[in-house]
Structures are given as C-alpha cells and as structure tokens.
Amino acid sequence: MAALTSEATKFWERPLDTLDRAEWEALCDGCGLCCLNKVEDADTGRVYRTNVACRLLDLETARCGNYRMRKQFVPDCLRLTPRLAAELTWLPDSCAYRLRAGGEALPAWHYLLSGDREAVHRLGRSVVANHSFGRAISEVSAGPLEEHILADDADDDG
C-alpha cells in the first residue's frame, strides 16, 4: 500500500480543531493502548496504567468490538476530543492525537505516512504485540485492576 502523501490528504498536519469527524477518526493508529484500564489513586489523583483491556477491545486486532455503540456498553469510555488529547497524560507517547495536540509530527511508522496499518503492531506499539508489560488481557478475566498496574508506573515515584 502506498503512503498517503499528496497535499490534499495531509489533513493530519492541520490543527486538530480544524479536522472533520472522518479526519479525526483517521488519526487513530489503531494501537488500542488508550483502551487499557487505568487505576486512579483517590488520595493523589495519580493515574496508573494497567495491562487490562476494556471488555470491548479485540486483543487480536486492537480494535473496539462495538465502537459506534461503546458508550452504551462501557459508560465511562471517553470520547477523545482535541482538548482531551492535549490534557490526558496517560495517552501513549506515540498516540497521534497526543502528538498532534502538542504540535508534533506523526511517527514515520504511522499508517497515514507509511501506508501500512500493521506497522503499529509489528513494531510493538499496540496491545497486539508483546510489550515490556506483557500481553494485554481482557477485563473479563483480569480480576482486581490493582494487581495489573504496569511495572514502569508502579516503580515511578513521580
């Protein structure tokens, strides 16, 4: 597949608040990392990442099993907006929404540049691939989220 590089298709370089819904949705690299559950410390407000995926996340494809109706099944699922993309510190560093909200370019492996939707998985930047935290598991079988806090978050004092 050829990379999408014509001037007409470089919508991802524009400010996020100028994108239409289809362009906004197209920014997603399909990693599924934002669909991993988080645990918030009630005293400090600190958010810890886990390797536990939302029950709707297909761990073989990193896609939501019912994206259009997800809020009906998972009421606390966030609808990402340009404002939230700039504010949510738990979004992955490689997240296109987070990068563009910060005025940064997409990584070369992003499918909008490379034309390769599988690159995110092959490079270990998705829930499909094994990460340093291990393979993601579904919340259906995970048990207490506190037992699944990622080591890099648990060891970090900050």
pTM of the complete model:
0.82
CA-closest candidate to residue 98, choices 113, 109, 84, 112: 84
**The token pair that represents 96 in the structure block:** 């296109």
Please report which confidence band the pLDDT of residue 129 belongs to, taking 50, 70 and 90 as the band edges: low
Domain boundaries, the chain: 7-154
Q: Which pLDDT score, from 0 to 100, does residue 141 have?
A: 86
Residue 133 pLDDT greater than 60, yes or no: no
* CA–CA distance, 158 with 156 (Å, rounded to integer): 6
User: Torsion angle, CA of 64/67/69/72, rounded to 10 degrees?
Assistant: 50
Nearest in space to 95 (alpha carbons), one of 78, 75, 74:
78
